[in-house]
Copies of this chain bind each other. A is one copy, B any other.
Amino acid sequence: MSDERPDPGTVRPGGRTAKVREAVLRAAGDALAEDGFDRLDLAEIARRAGVGKTTVYRRWGTVPGLVADLLTEMAEESVSRTETGSLLGDLTAQARLVQSTLSDSRQGPLFKALITAAACDPQTAEALQRFYRIRTEEWAPCVTAAIDRGEVPEGTDPTEVVRAVSAPLYYRLLIAGDPIDQPMADRTAKAAATAARGGAFTR
């Protein structure tokens, strides 16, 4: 098999190709947020993006493939992190950021759809894990700083602490279904900080 050809869009990625990709990913995000993962139709996305449906099918093939590419794109744009000087302050800032994202009328449904897509397709799951690994690594230093200050015990796993802040918010989004407000986010941060100080996240 010496005549293997590269993926479409990789040989001439400039100009039109880039514009098409941008338009399609934008349209895919909109459609995901509005209609959800299962009602997604690649032809509809093509129409929204002002692009031939053949192009979408040829370059991304399936819905999970397209979502995986969208996640890769999203992983690239980083969020700036605040540094308050205390673990509770930092975790509260993190919780509030997640809260405002998940309760946003576009981002909330979008993230729900992204997680849904990841649950259905290994390739998308990998992209989602990469996305959250990057986010987690961005927030981990505030736990490391707390260790250095002696606020939490040596051997505390920063990843676990950061996840403990987000997890209950995602639980509400995906399972419980009730609203994700700021008091809730603050309580989550407080719980994680308390548990961390008590040494619950040591290996």
Write the residues of chain A forming the contact surface with B, with a CB cutoff of 8 angstroms.
36-39, 112-113, 115-116, 118-121, 125, 128-129, 132, 160, 163-164, 166-168, 170-171, 174-177, 187, 190-195, 197-201
A92 to chain B, nearest CB (A): 12
Interface of chain A, main secondary structure: helix
Question: Chain B residues near A132 (CB, 8 Å)?
Answer: 175-176
Q: How far, in whole Å, are A194 and B191 apart by their CA atoms in the complex?
A: 8
Q: Quick check: A129 and B177 within 8 Å, CB to CB?
A: yes
Compute how far the CA of A112 lies from the CA of B119 in the bound complex, rounded to whole angstroms: 7
In the docked arrangement, what's the CA distance between A36 and B121, Å?
A: 9
How many copies of this chain?
2
Complex CA–CA separation, A164 to B190 (angstroms): 12
Closest 3 CB pairs of A and B: A191-B195, A194-B198, A191-B200
List B contacts of A171 (CB < 8 A).
163, 166-167, 170-171
